[in-house]
Amino acid sequence: MKILVPVKRVVDYNVKIRVKADGSGVDLANVKMSMNPFDEIAVEEALRLKEAGKASEVIAVSIGPAQSAETIRTALAMGADRGILVKAEGRVEPLAVAKLLKAIAAKEEPGLVILGKQAIDDDSNQTGQMLAALLGWPQGTFASKVVIGDGTVDVTREVDGGLQTVGLKLPAIVTTDLRLNEPRYASLPNIMKAKKKPLDETTPEALGVDVTPRLTIVKTSEPAGRKAGAKVASVAALVDKLKNESGVL
């Protein structure tokens, strides 16, 4: 069974992002970019399944500018077998990403696609669900445990009330939550080896997908700064403030 792992190049989670002066978006000039953290967890899970003999090949896919090849190389250095770069400039919305992944899935015929639950740049949390709908495959989102059976996968999901386990027939879509695993670091020898691994390049046109954005960004602004807090002398004073000042009671 092949496992397809979509990996997105995003602003590194340690970077304090700045909004462009004209409010047209986030300033990406000279900003450190990395693999979306939930996608690192997806790569790790795919590698663990391969190491356990449940998968034969792990394929990393990224959709984005030429530099997204670096993100794929990171996945290859972690242990993925090969990569596919879909070269696309500008914003590619989740629906377009899902359509591109559907086209790749039709060619590669993976048994499992493991995505991150969300990309930390746009926080959409949509691509996995849209891909499942487009392919007509079952989905297990927010996975904290993945167990492969005979033509099936049991996905334990983090839901509001606790944990839920769903049994899915393969092929299926899984999206990762934080507690699924702790991703490995790429070792130096593996980084060197990754340079020789195959990385195919394609385009949205070649895959027959129109990636023109459907949404217009009206404005991007920084969240308002937090107001200073205050200490209260007693519970009665707290209740009074909640009732009469903030109006939450």
Interface residue with ligand AMP among 2, 3, 4, 8 (CB under 6 A) is 8
* Nearest partner of 156 among 170, 141, 169, judged by Cα: 141
64 belongs to the binding site for ligand AMP (CB under 6 A):
yes
Distance of alpha carbon 203 from alpha carbon 53, whole angstroms:
32
Interface residue with ligand AMP among 4, 69, 92, 209 (CB under 6 A) is 92
Part of the chain binding ligand AMP (CB under 6 A), chosen from 20-28, 51-59, 60-68, 104-112: 60-68
Contact call for residues 98 and 125 (beta carbons, < 8 A): no
The residues with which 155 forms a beta bridge, in sequence order, are 146, 166
108 belongs to the binding site for ligand AMP (CB under 6 A):
no
Give the interface size with ligand AMP as a residue count (CB under 6 A).
Answer: 24
User: In this structure, what DSSP letter does residue 205 have?
Assistant: T
Interface residue with ligand AMP among 115, 173, 174, 209 (CB under 6 A) is 115
User: What token pair was written down for 119?
Assistant: 């990309």
Q: Which is nearer to ligand AMP, 77 or 101 (CB)?
A: 101
Return the half-sphere exposure (C-beta side, CA atoms, 13 A cut-off) of residue 162: 3
The residues with which 146 forms a beta bridge, in sequence order, are 155
80 belongs to the binding site for ligand AMP (CB under 6 A):
no
Q: In the bound complex, which residue of the shown chain has the CB atom lying closest to ligand AMP?
A: 116
Contact call for residues 121 and 21 (beta carbons, < 8 A): no
Contact call for residues 139 and 175 (beta carbons, < 8 A): yes
At position 40, the amino acid (one-letter code) is E
Q: Shortest gap between Cβ of 227 and ligand AMP (angstroms)?
A: 30
* Nearest partner of 60 among 1, 103, 104, 125, judged by Cα: 104
Q: Which is nearer to ligand AMP, 125 or 241 (CB)?
A: 125
54 belongs to the binding site for ligand AMP (CB under 6 A):
no
* SS3 call for 200: strand
Q: Shortest gap between Cβ of 68 and ligand AMP (angstroms)?
A: 7
Q: Shortest gap between Cβ of 122 and ligand AMP (angstroms)?
A: 5
Interface residue with ligand AMP among 27, 57, 122, 154 (CB under 6 A) is 122
* SS3 call for 178: helix
Interface residue with ligand AMP among 3, 34, 36, 41 (CB under 6 A) is 36
Contacts to ligand AMP by CB under 6 A: 6-8, 36, 38-39, 42, 61-64, 92, 94, 97, 115-116, 118-119, 122, 124-128
